[in-house]
Amino acid sequence: MPGEVLALLEAQGLTTVDFLLGITGDMDGEGCFRSAWLAFDAKGLYLAFGTEALRRKKQRGKSRTAAVYTLEELQTIPLEAIAKLKVEQYVTTGRLIAEMPPAGTGRADLTGSVGDPSGTVLPGSDDVALTRFSVGKIGDFQQLCSCFNAYKEGRDWETYLPAKDEAACCPKCGQPFPPGKRICPACGKQQSTVRRLFAYFGSYKKEMALVLLTLLLGSAFTVAMPKVSTQLLFDQVLNEGNANPLAWRLAALGWVVLAAAGMRLLDTAMHMLYDYILAIILPKMTYDIKRRIFSSMQRLSVGFYSSKQTGSLMERVTRDAMSIYLFSSEDLPRLVMNVVMLAGELGLMVFLSWKMTLLVLSVLPLMVLLLIFGDRIFRRVHHRIWTASAKLTSLVSDNINGQRVIKAFAKEPDELRRFEGLSGSMAGAEIDQARTESTLFPFITALVFLLSMVVLAVGGLDVLAGKMTVGKLLSFTIYLTMIAEPVDFLSWISNHWARAMDAAHRVFEITDTEPDLPEKEDPVQLTEIRGDVELRELEFAYEPAHPVIRQVSLRVGAGQMLGIVGKTGAGKTTIANLISRLYDAKAGAVLLDGVDVRDLPMAQLRRHIGLVSQDIFLFTGSIADNIRYAKPAAGMAEVMAAAKAAAAHNFIMKLPDAYETRVGSGGQALSGGERQRISIARAILQNPKILILDEATAAMDTATERSIQASLAKLQQGRTTIAIAHRLSTLRDADVLAVIEDGKLTEFGSFRDLLQLRGAFYRLYQIQSQAMAQMRGIGTDGAKEEEKEEDPS
């Protein structure tokens, strides 16, 4: 809460120092946008509404904007009048609701209308709406509720206060960072991006100096060429009325030609040298950038990856690094070269004839204007081509990936039509580009030509009047055509510059992202992990305000097997992810042997937790390598034993290349059950203390599942197993079962306990056993797959 508001509240007679928690809202009870401040202390809950406006203020001589607050309304609700605070969430807004205590105890303070005349209290009838807020504030409001409720119940409310994040603001400008980032969008942009990009060149200072030197020398030779080859030739050697003897003139001719050739050679040599040096530095630099992005990406959590599109990440590693490379290798040296050449050429032109140079310079703005105009058109056309091509690419990629669906719905002609449409618009854009090119460039060329004609006329007059030599005039016209190139270059380089800076910015965004699962600085080192897992009031949300796990507390002893059942989307997988610390809990904790997983070193934790998840990923490589992934040093005997335990050995041996069959993208196609078995073998070989099986056997027939269960049962000694499944048969060996409904733990106990409870678990059991009873006599689940298995290949 801002200090000014506190002062306003003090003026209303409140003692704000006693406030336990204050938050800021942005709406009133009617859903109108308005500043709101909420706080509570030992006496009650205060809701203040008012306005907040930005005014310019003079402070210490500097003009700054500052917020000015006014208070319009203050509601005070005594603490006794509220039993509980809660938040209801709508699509884009939320509402703070007070649950009133049972009838009679001061409820009239709030509204007189609540209460049921019949005397029975319907659920929800004790709810009173306090204020609304936009959905972004929901975290703050939820916190207010938790703190308030805890305080009211006499529990330790301070645990719900957020941890103060000191470094959450940009040290330069004081603005808070955007969530999950550590770069200030205001300060982190342009300039520092350039500087940081150049910092990559830093390790190649010597080479860069050499590149610059060769560039300058090369440009100098290019610029000086016409002076020697044209002016000297015409004015000293070929001019009429030259009094020197023919032999001298021949020798001079030879010298001039030789000098010109020598200069051209030196120029080429310089070019080669700088190309050569750059060719060595740049790939190294690009390698460095790519490596940095990749290693930064390895530090980031699963949450980061699910929030970003795969394509956008891959683009950063490959394409953005490439555009930085292209800019540094092609454009940057040319930029230096062209600036130098333009300066040199203009200087020499002034030296030759300042009058004519002025004439040229007067036309130059027109040319620049024309080029800028052309650049605008090009940018528009380029953008159209780019978007058309991007759409086309994604259409083709969708089409390839979705061939099954397209064929199943006989949509080939429609797909073709879509392709034709997009491809046609791309062709149209390309025609536009070509048209603009073929109009604009001849126009510019003609302009330069016209200009040189004017120069020729003016210069010719001077020559006739004897004020200027023929050689000077000729070399001047040559310089005139030469400056067209740098001018042209400088007019479009800004485009490339912007593109490279954009790419660099995206790259730095990745390398600057702080890992959101920080490793503790002095982690607790457990010498031995027993495998006790405890969830303590665990809460989690993937997105703020959408809680997925609410207040889950349970314990599994070392060596026990916990089964988790629940409907799809109940939060079972999330629990698995939290235990293996792929995400961090929002509140509460996961304890391993009594130690918070956040206090354990990440490597140790992951080594002792084996996770077989629903979506199985096989790396490109052999089956043996995939099984060996967690333990690369494992011998073949171990790999085969693990595969046997996972019931994978037999199907693997049927493949012609057995354990050396290549899987992953472009490799042997495996069925869902086969992939699951490989991933189970991977977890078994890892030999973790805690094994989490998240629907690990869902794609298998019952017989295979049984055989895996049998071998897992043997493996379970001294190992905690957490199995998540829909099929209750999968969990028949579980010591304890947990039923998760809508993120909450509703039932917990042994198989027998839960059946006796006659709750959700019992219903689920009944549904499944009924289904089995109906199927009896028809055949068993997965019989078809088994047939395939038995078929000798």
**What is the C-alpha to C-alpha distance for residues 178 and 67, in angstroms, rounded to an integer?**
21
Rounded CA gap, 624 and 708, in Å?
19
- DSSP bridge pairs for 99: 84, 127
Comparison of 77 and 712: residue with beta carbon closer to another protein: 712
Q: Of the candidates 45, 232, 570, 645, which one interacts with another protein according to CB under 8 A? A: 645
- Sign (positive or negative) of CA dihedral 521, 524, 530, 531: negative
279-287, 469-477, 532-540, 634-642 -> range binding another protein (CB under 8 A)? 634-642
Phi, psi of 662, deg, nearest 5: -85, 130
Smallest distance from the beta carbon of 666 to another protein, in angstroms? Answer: 7
Distance of CA 738 to the CA centre of its chain: 35
Minimum Å gap between C-beta 300 and another protein is 27
Q: How far is the CB of 604 from another protein (least distance, A)?
A: 11
> Of 346, 684, 696, 738, which lies in the binding site for another protein, with binding defined by CB under 8 A?
684
Report the C-alpha dihedral over residues 657, 660, 664, 669, rounded to 10 degrees: 20
Q: Is 644 in the site for another protein (CB under 8 A)?
A: yes
d(CA 132, CA 111): 17
Strand order, beta sheet including 533-541: 547-556, 533-541, 587-592, 595-596
Gap between the Cα atoms of 222 and 218, Å rounded: 6
What distance, in Å, lies between the first and last C-alpha atoms of the chain? 73
Minimal distance, residue 393 CB to another protein, in Å: 22
Find the length of the chain: 793
One-character DSSP codes across 369-385: HHHHHHHHHHHHHHHHH
User: Does residue 290 belong to the site contacting another protein (CB under 8 A)?
Assistant: no
Q: Is 745 exposed, middle or buried (0-12, 13-18, 19+ CB in 10 A)?
A: buried
User: Smallest distance from the beta carbon of 654 to another protein, in angstroms?
Assistant: 8
By CB under 8 A, tell whether 658 contacts another protein. Answer: yes
Rounded distance between C-alpha atoms, residue 422 and residue 390, angstroms: 10
DSSP tag of 690: E
* 660, 671, 775, 783: which one binds another protein (CB under 8 A): 660
Identity of the residue, 532 or 625, whose beta carbon is nearer to another protein in the bound complex: 625
Is residue 156 a contact residue for another protein (CB under 8 A)? no
Packing angle of the helix pair 636-645, 672-686 (nearest 10 deg): 120
Span from 36-44, 292-300, 328-336, 681-689 in contact with another protein (CB under 8 A): 681-689
CB 294, min distance to another protein, A? 21
| Token digits of residue 283 | 């790939």
List 650, 671, 750, 780, residue binding another protein (CB under 8 A): 650
Regarding 365 and contact with another protein (CB under 8 A), the answer is no
Q: Site for another protein (CB under 8 A): which residue of 607, 706, 726, 744?
A: 607
Q: Output the 3-class SS for 567-583.
A: CCCCCHHHHHHHHCCCC
Interaction pattern, residues 561-600, with another protein; x per rule: CB under 8 A: ----------------------------------------
Q: How far is the CB of 530 from another protein (least distance, A)?
A: 15
**Closer to another protein at the Cβ: 340 or 652?**
652
Q: What are the structure tokens assigned to 467, written together?
A: 């004020």
Burial of 508 from C-beta contacts in 10 A (0-12 / 13-18 / 19+) = buried
Question: Which of 43, 631, 726, 727 lies at the binding interface for another protein (CB under 8 A)?
Answer: 631
Instruction: Please pick, from the candidates 199, 279, 343, 653, the single residue that binds another protein as defined by CB under 8 A.
Output: 653
For residue 362 the two structure tokens come to 């007067």
Q: Name the one range near another protein by CB under 8 A: 206-214, 234-242, 684-692, 764-772.
A: 684-692
- Indicate whether 636 belongs to the interface with another protein (CB under 8 A): yes
Q: How many residues lie near another protein (CB under 8 A)?
A: 32
Kindly state the greatest CA–CA separation across the chain.
132
Instruction: Please name every residue paired with 591 in a beta bridge, in sequence order, or none if there are none.
Output: 534, 596
Distance (Å, whole) CA 384 – CA 566: 50
Q: Choose which of 437, 638, 735, 742 interacts with another protein (CB under 8 A).
A: 638
To another protein, the closest distance from the beta carbon of 493 in angstroms equals: 37
Cβ-based nearer residue to another protein, 687 or 768: 687
Q: Which of 590, 664, 593 is nearest to 624 (CA)?
A: 664
Given a contact cutoff of 8 angstroms between Cβ atoms, the answer to whether 577 and 570 are in contact is no
687 binds another protein (CB under 8 A): yes
Among 642, 700, 723, 734, the residue binding another protein under the rule CB under 8 A is 642
**In the set 79, 170, 641, 757, which binds another protein (CB under 8 A)?**
641
In the set 572, 649, 675, 682, which binds another protein (CB under 8 A)? 649
Whether 651 and 672 have beta carbons less than 8 Å apart is answered as no
- Residue 435 and residue 559: Cα distance in Å, rounded? 75
Query: What count of Cα atoms within 13 Å lies in the side-chain half-sphere of residue 523?
Result: 16
The region of 204-212, 274-282, 559-567, 679-687 touching another protein under the rule CB under 8 A is: 679-687
Q: Which of residues 696-755 bind another protein (CB under 8 A)?
A: 711, 714-715, 717
Question: Min. distance of Cβ 607 from another protein in angstroms?
Answer: 7
Q: Which is nearer to another protein, 260 or 643 (CB)?
A: 643
Smallest distance from another protein to CB 204, Å: 32
Q: What are phi and psi of 85, to 5 degrees?
A: -105, 140
Q: How far is the CB of 665 from another protein (least distance, A)?
A: 11
Is 691 a residue that touches another protein (CB under 8 A)? no
Q: Which is nearer to another protein, 685 or 740 (CB)?
A: 685
Candidates 474, 552, 605, 640: give the one binding another protein (CB under 8 A). 640
123 is an interface residue for another protein by CB under 8 A: no
Spatial separation of the C-alpha atoms in residues 556 and 767, rounded to whole Å: 27
Element of type H or E holding 22: strand 21-27
| Amino acid, single-letter form, for residue 340 | V
| Closest to another protein by CB, 716 or 768 | 716
Q: Radius of gyration (Cα) for the chain, nearest Å?
A: 38
Output 411 or 644, the one with its CB closest to another protein.
644
Q: Which residues contribute to the site for another protein (CB under 8 A)?
A: 607, 624, 631, 636-638, 640-642, 644-645, 649-650, 652-654, 656-660, 666, 684-687, 711, 714-715, 717, 790, 792
